[in-house]
Structure formats: C-alpha cells, structure tokens
Structure 1
C-alpha cells in the first residue's frame, strides 16, 4: 500500500486559515472585553497594540504582516519593507520559509498586486503559520496595516503596581 501524500489543496488550506482567524478574532475580543470599537494605540518599535478595554488596558504583542496601498493597488510584506522595524520581518520568517518550501509565490513575492482581499489572505495565512490568536487591521490614510495578534494580557492597574 502506498503512503504517498496527497497534494495539498492550497485554496482550501487558505480558506481554513481565514476561518480560523475570524473565529480567533471573535474569541479574543470577547475574552478580553474588547467588542465594539475600543480605543487603541499600536507601536511598531515595541511590536505592541494597547486597547482600552472594559477590563482595563489590554496589551497585545503583534506582528505587522504587511501594508496595502489603495492608490498603488498592492500589498507589501513587512519583510520586504525597510521602513518597518526588523523584528516584524523576523517574526514572518516562518511564513516566508513555508512559501519557499511549498513554492507558493503569494508568500515569497515581496509586493503582491491586488487590494484588500489579497492582503487579507496573506494576513490569515501568516496568522495560521504563526499560530496567532487572531488579527487586527488599521487604516492610516491611503495605507492599511495588517497585524497578527500573537499574545494578549490585561495590564495591572497602576494602583496595584504601587502596593
């Protein structure tokens, strides 16, 4: 009997990645009281995203997967963008390596033509490969930033730190 592995259906694999990230987003937002539109602040240098949640400040460790530009109609991976702090590209090495290993141009091409759908697919694939809790997206003018959420914790209140 042959034990040859069946070829992977990459479309189905990608759809499963999207579904996992959508479910993960609902879970972490619920678990940390972040449903709705909480105030937030991200910092690329520290790779953090801080929310003002119902439970207090929630600190997320994030990876900026990439950015898209409406005017350019493309998605640029963080590992290919010199303006992005290096730790983001390093955190994406698992994604880049997976793309090289499986000859998936979507994961190895620095700039991908397309818009939000292509960027979302890249984001969700990265999230699946990084075993992320979910994703976060922010728009800054013409540029959309796509983050994976890798870790979350509620920050202790400042009063608790003084005791």
Structure 2
C-alpha cells in the first residue's frame, strides 16, 4: 500500500462517491429527455432497464449491485446472491477487487447489516468504481434493488435510422 493510500480518508472518499452519483442522477434524465418519474421495466437476465420517456424509450445497461430486504435488515451484494444472474457479480469484480486491495470490509463482506443508507453507500461506491452514468433503485414488495447504470441510449424505433 502506498503512503498516499494509507492516508486516504475512506469516509470522505465514500461521501464523494455519493455526491458524484447525486449529481449524475440529476443530469442523465435531463440529457435523455426523461420526466420526473418515467415508466420503467428491468430485466436481470439481459441486464437492461427500459425507461419510458414522453417521446422515446431509453435503454440502459445496468448492473444489479445488491438488494436489501425489509425483514432481514441487511444489504446483500449481488456477487454473494446465487439468485442473481452471474453477469451482475462479474460486473462488480472491480468493486470486490478494490475492497480487497484496500482492506475495505464494506466492499468484501457478502451481507452488511443495515438498510437503505448502507445499501445506497455501497451502490454509489460501486457506481464510482464502475464509472457508471448513474444509479437506479426499485422496490418490489419487501425487497429493494440497487442498480448502477453503465450505459444509456435512446431506443431506435423500427422506422428510425441511427445518426
């Protein structure tokens, strides 16, 4: 570990990750012409999120970072959840490796006690390390899913030609 890394304030680094994602999450919906609460559907197998804008759909490539369960009171990384398609865990290798390299238990512990605040911190750290465009959170019953948005593009209609 270098001297610079020994002196890293990881709490500040984590706060910066959250601030970065707050800023990016304010920007990408505007950039793609999406209103405040666009309709959406996601598919874990294809790692996609489709957002319905007023003029077009936007297709995002996503990574499910992890989930929280209201009843269990913990965040579980996707790489530690066998119910999640493998490509999500593979996309998180950069996060897992970073955690191991810097001895950050938050990034290497499969199940973290807590709820949305802890999960949001993990999500934003993952997004920072993946250089994500933003993040997306959805609640299904008692489970909340935390996604990083890796790529966004306007969906091409059948009669549209790409520029």
Q: Is the TM-score greater than 0.5?
A: yes
Q: Secondary structure at the match of 1:158?
A: coil
Q: CA deviation at 1:27?
A: 0.7
1:32 and 1:55 in contact (8 A); partners too? no
How far residue 86 of structure 1 moved from its aligned partner, in angstroms, is 0.2
Q: Which runs of 5+ in 2 are unaligned?
A: none
Retained in 1: the 8 A contact 2:35–2:54?
no
Question: Is the 1:79–1:89 contact (alpha carbons within 8 Å) kept by the matching residues of 2?
Answer: yes
1:160 Cα offset (Å) = 2.2
User: Any conservation in 1 of the 2:123–2:148 contact (CA below 8 Å)?
Assistant: yes
CA distance in 2, matches of 1:158, 1:40: 20
Match of 1:136 in 2: 136
Equivalent residue of 1:8, what SS? coil
> Residue 62 of structure 1 contacts residue 151 of structure 1 at CA under 8 Å; is this kept in 2?
yes
* TM-score, normalising length: structure 1: 0.94
Show the counterpart of 2:46.
46
The RMSD of aligned alpha carbons is: 1.2
Q: TM-score, normalised by structure 2?
A: 0.94
The answer for the alignment partner of 1:22 in structure 2 is 22
Equivalent in the alignment of 1:124: 124
Cα distance, 1:33 vs. partner? 1.2
Q: Whole-Å Cα distance in 2 between the matches of residues 47 and 99 of structure 1?
A: 24
Residue in structure 1 matched with residue 70 of structure 2 by the alignment = 70
Instruction: Quote the offset at 1:34 in angstroms.
Output: 1.5
Aligned positions of 1:1-163 closer than 5 A? 4-5=3-4, 7-160=7-160
Write out the 4+ residue segments of structure 1 that deviate beyond 6 Å after TM superposition.
Answer: none
Aligned equivalents of 1:130 and 1:147: distance in 2?
A: 12
1 CA distance for matches of 2:130 and 2:60? Answer: 15
CA apart distance, 1:156: 1.1
- Cα distance in 1, alignment partners of residues 78 and 123 from structure 2: 11
Q: 1:129, CA displacement in angstroms?
A: 0.2
State the shift of 1:136 in Å.
Answer: 0.1
- Gaps spanning 5+ residues in structure 1: where? none
Retained in 2: the 8 A contact 1:61–1:149? yes
